[in-house]
Structure formats: C-alpha cells, structure tokens
Amino acid sequence: MGNHKKLQAWVSEVQAMCQPSDVAWCDGTKAEYDHMMQLLVDAGLATKLNEAKRPNSYLFRSDPSDVARVEDRTYISTKNKVDAGPTNNWLAPDELKTIMRGLYQGCMKGRTMYVIPFSMGPIGSPIAKIGVQVTDSPYVVANMHLMTRVGTRVLDTLGSTGEFIPCLHSVGKPLAPGQADNGVWPCAPIEKKYIAHFPEENLIWSFGSGYGGNALLGKKCLALRIASAMGHKEGWMAEHMLIVRLTNPAGRRFHIAAAFPSACGKTNLAMLQPTIKGWKAECLGDDIAWMKIKDDGRLYAINPEAGFFGVAPGTSYNSNPMAMDSIRANAIFTNCVLTDDNDVWWEGMDVPCTHGIDWKGKDWTPASGQVGAHGNARFTAPASQCPVICSDWENPEGVPIDIFIFGGRRTRVMPLVHQAMNWDHGVFMGATAASEPTAAALDVKSALRRDPMAMLPFCGYNVGDYWNHWFKMGDRLGNKAPAIFYVNWFRKNDKGKWLWPGFGDNSRVLKWMCERVEGKADAIQTPIGLMPKPQDLDLTGLDIPAEDLQELLKVDVNAFAGELEDLDNYMGKVGDRLPKRMKDQVAQYKARLGRG
C-alpha cells in the first residue's frame, strides 16, 4: 500500500464511512484479475465463454436500470454555479457531499473494498496522471485492469508525496450477514445513483451504479470531466478524440485527432483500413486524447487509456474488422446475447443467431420481437490486442498532432469535408458541431443536436471558458497549430441513398487533408470554409457519379442561413461567459453567408 500518508489517510477515512468487511490493495497482476473473475463467476454475475472460441473472456448482464451513463444523475459540483456552466447539472459541494455521505454510510457492508492505484497514460509519462479508485465491485477491478495501468508500479511512481486523484465508488448494495448477490447485479435504484465531480478539488464520487462510465472512474469521469478542468487550469487539453497515425507512400507520418459524437463512425476511423494504395493507418486511441505543448512548440498527444470500451451492436467484420479481432480473447462483454455454443452475439454482427439467452437472461430467438443485446451492450479489451495498434501508442512523450477533425451526422446541408480558414474559425466549427436529432429529420429548420467538440456530456467546467481555453491554446501554438477540418460522412440524396461509401474510403478525404498540410493540394474558398476541388479528391477505383460528387461538395448558402436562428439560440445559452472571439466568429460567419 506504499507509504503515501495522504493516500493512507483517505483510504482509512473511506473505510470508516463505508464499513467494508475487508480491504484489498490491487497489484494489477494476472492472478488478481483471474481471482476477480472467479469471484464473479461464483456469485452468478459472470459467465465464462467458450474457451476454444473466445479464450479468457466473460459475459455479464447488468440490471435493466444500469445499462448506460446516467447524465441526469451526473453533476459538476463547483462553489459557484456559473463555473459549471449551462451544459452541466450542478449542486453545491456541501449539499451534494451531505447527500452522498448519507448514502455511503455503511454501503460496503458484507463486501470487500478494493483500492485500485491506476495511471491514465503510460506510467511515468509527463502527460499522464495518477488516480486511486476505491470500489466494492470486482467487475470494476477487472475492467480497470484492461482500461488503465493498474498496480504496484503506479504506487512506486506515486511515491510518498505524489499527486493523485481520489475516486470513490460503490455499487450501493450492502450485503447482510450470509447474504450474497446470487446472480443479481448489485446497484441502487435510479433515484439514488449519483456521479459527482468536484473539479476544484480534483475529486470524484460515484454511488449506485456498476456500469461502465458511471463506475470505471478513470474513463469519462477522470479522463474527460476532471482532466478537462485540470487542463484548463494547467494549460493543456483533455479531449474526446481518437488518435490515428496516417503514413503516406513517401513515408511521411501525419497524426490526426478527431472528435465525433456517438454514432458518427469514431471507432471505425480510429481503426481505419485505407482503400488507397500505399497509405497506411495505425490506431493510437479510439476515444480520448490528452495533449500538451512541448518545448518545440507543437502539440503532443497521448491516449490516456489502455483498453477499448466499445459499443458492441453494429460492430462486425464488415463494419470494423480490427475491432472484431481486438476482442477475440481476454475480453469482457456486458449485455450481449449468450449463444448456444457459449459465445456472444449482438445485432449488426453480420452472422446469424437462431437462439440464445438475451441481455435480460431470457430465452431469445429472432422472432422474439425485441433485441437480444442491449443497444448499449459493450466490450472491454486491451488496446494492445488491436492488429493495427501503433508502435508508439504507449510512447510516454506522445505524438505530434498535425490535424484536428470535427464532425457530426447530417443527411443534408453539411458537405463531405471543409477546412477552417484559421484557428479561431476552426474553434467555431468544433463548437457548433451538430447532428440531426433523428434520421427522419430532413427539414433543415429542425432543431439540431449541438455537441461542441463532442464534449457536451464531458466538459467539466463552463463551456464558454472551455472555448476560450481553445482560443488561448491556439495563441500559444501560433503557426505550429494543427490544421482543423470538419467532415460529414452521412450525406444522402433526395431518394435517401448514401452519397459517400464511408469506412475505409474515408482515407480519401484524409489524404486531401494531409496534402493540404503539406501544401500540395488546392482549396476553394466558400462561406463555410475551404473545400477541395473535385479533382483533388483521390477517387481511384470508386464509381461515384459526377452528380453525387457535386452534391457531396455543395454549399447551399440558403440552407446554412436557415440554421442561423438555431445557432443564435445555442450561443445565447452560454450567456456572459461566451468569449468575444466566438461572438466575432458568429458575426463573420453571418457576413460570409450574406446575413451579417
């Protein structure tokens, strides 16, 4: 347990409050992982999968009330409400801690309290941070083994005085003497679930949920909500971004960080297989990027995670073969179908399943009338198992970012790709990223779901201050700032046909971006930004009709102008913290559209 007095005092304080039957310090070994899994199998909470088909892998079924992040029970707790901003739920720290201390009192009775020292990022990296999670869930311990770097090496790095982020978690289901879970997923009712962040103290408290982002506190809680606030104070960036390395035929490497809301192809892009000859893509991360400016003035990124926590439904050998290969062994599955041969299945896997046990533990066939796997069913697997993982993915110094990409899911209006005219314009593009609320919402005046930099649920402080931080980072980077682009893979024609093939063919758009960075490709100036000439997109081997390409690259000024009222309402919600530079960008955008 090391000799860190502050850490020992905190663990003792939590122990006294939560009253576990035992305390165990995690060492990160395989023996420990195997022990956790055996405990879970014995408790009826885990099913060991077919060892021949999927070695060392397990399936879990959660409670139906505990299947996803619960944003309405997630809080950013600052002394002043304005510091949390309009995009976050807020309660005052004293009030929230009083509520949660009441819930934590005796909440671990009958359970073991595990102390998990973990590193977000390669241990010892100048960009990494250390957290310590206390939990009463062996499921959390096992997942943290895959998603972070856990164990005694972390304590050694922490030493006796190092800084750590305390992360307190309980499933909120104490056990009476002689009682066991007996196959019932432990969690608290929804009204008692709280996921609380105290950015002024770099502190995380979570109660009542055993699921993913509510319970694996290194993920969204630390790596985005707390880290984004830390980055704001310390002058670095924590972003909801994949990181990919693209190498051209001449051997030049480009590092790309891209932010997309859910259902916009993020994992597919992270594990891209280019369809253009001579280009190679390697994955550095699929979800989160931490970035710092180094002595050479460039922005360097690490993936703070050690594993993938991906959405299973829709993942297949057709849509993402690299993800499928990543989960062939040593994986944890949650809320998938258990097949008759003791493997997992989900909708969109592109293989048949005629019978199984569904995510609720009930008999299932395709004729059952409901999905077999929950829509948010998940897999957890080590990133090292990805066939296209980059050799530098654990480089403690990180990789230099050349390109930022933002995107959303739009069937109309937004073209395939455009580039920011300058850094401030790029910040505006990221801040106004939007998707249509449903696939059927074809009216351009329909309300758009704005998701600034794909950080709407994850920004740990006022979104106006967050945008201002982006502007200031650009000032520091100067001419070494990454180029910024916006993509939309999801345009359809009037008959509902996809205009762009997507998946590996997205590499064709990335090629143009890289050539723009090199100064080798032209662009056309439009009111929304710089766009490729049709002949500058490498479409070799693709059969895209000229009219489809024209539609993909079309900028309909009237359609964009029709969204200005929505844009004004969106910006108005930020209130007094809206940066002047963002107001200037809005004004310039309106002027370019002829509506200034």
Shared-domain flag, residues 343 and 484 = no
Q: Look up residue 459 and give its amino acid.
A: C
* 76 and 108 co-located in one domain: yes
State the DSSP H helix or E strand holding residue 283, giving kind and residue range, or none if neither: strand 280-285
Question: Which helix (H) or strand (E) is 477 found in, with range?
Answer: helix 463-477
Q: Which residue matches tokens 């919600």? A: 573
Q: Which residues are catalytic?
A: 264
Enter the pTM of the model. 0.97
- Over residues 539-555, the mean pLDDT reads 96
**What's the CATH code of the domain at 152?**
3.40.449.10
Backbone angle region of 345, left / alpha / beta, with phi > 0 → left and psi within -120 to 50 → alpha? beta
Same domain, 373 and 414: no
The number of distinct structural domains making up the chain is 3
Average pLDDT of span 146-154: 97
Residue 440: the pLDDT is 38
pLDDT tens figures, 83-114: 999 999 999 999 999 999 999 999 999 999 99
- Span between the terminal Cα atoms of the chain, in Å: 63
Q: Is 85 helix (H, G, I), strand (E, B) or coil?
A: coil
DSSP states along 394-432: T-TT-EE--EEEEE---SSSS-SEEE-SSHHHHHHHHHT
Task: Read off the tokens for 186.
Answer: 């432990």
For residues 135 and 23, give the distance between their C-alpha atoms in angstroms, rounded to a whole number: 10
- The residue among 193, 220, 235 that closes a domain is 235
How many residues can be counted in the chain? Answer: 596
Check residue 439 and give its pLDDT: 39
271 and 371 within one domain: no
Which residues face 75 on adjacent strands? 89, 196
As a whole number of angstroms, the distance between CA 286 and CA 267 comes to 6
Do 374 and 250 fall into the same domain? no
CA–CA distances in Å: residue 249 to residues 246, 405, 411, 506, 513: 10, 22, 33, 17, 15
pLDDT tens per residue across span 229-258 = 999 999 999 999 999 999 999 999 999 999
Residue-range definition of the domain harbouring residue 536: 239-306+394-592
CATH of the domain at 435: 3.90.228.20
Output the CA angle 408-414-420, nearest 5 degrees. Answer: 80
Last residue of a domain, one of 235, 252, 269: 235
Task: Please give the average per-residue pLDDT across 515-538, as a whole number.
Answer: 97
324 with 298, same domain?
no
- The answer as to whether 51 is a domain residue is no
Q: How far apart are CA 456 and CA 510, in angstroms?
A: 25
What is the pairing mode between strands 332-334 and 74-76? unpaired
How much is the average pLDDT of 20-42? 98
- Per-residue pLDDT at 441: 37
Average pLDDT of 3-13? 96
Do 245 and 314 lie in one domain? The reply is: no
Show the tokens assigned to 35: 């022990």
The verdict on residue 428 lying in a domain is yes
Q: What pLDDT is attached to residue 585?
A: 98
Same domain, 212 and 248: no
Task: Specify whether 272 is located in the same domain as 316.
Answer: no
Q: Does the residue 161 lie in any domain? A: yes
Q: Are residues 477 and 342 in the same domain?
A: no
Whether the Cβ atoms of residue 26 and residue 5 lie closer than 8 Å to each other: no
> Which residue has tokens 């790095």?
157
Does residue 290 lie in a domain region?
A: yes
Domain end point (choices 328, 350, 385): 385
Structural domain includes residue 54: no
Give the tokens for residue 195.
């996921």
Please report, for the domain that includes residue 341, its CATH number: 2.170.8.10
Residue 63 forms part of a structural domain: no
Amino acid in the structure at residue 69 = R
Same domain? For 476 and 516 the reply is yes
Q: Are residues 293 and 350 in the same domain?
A: no
Judged against a pLDDT cut of 90, whether residue 446 lies above it is answered with no
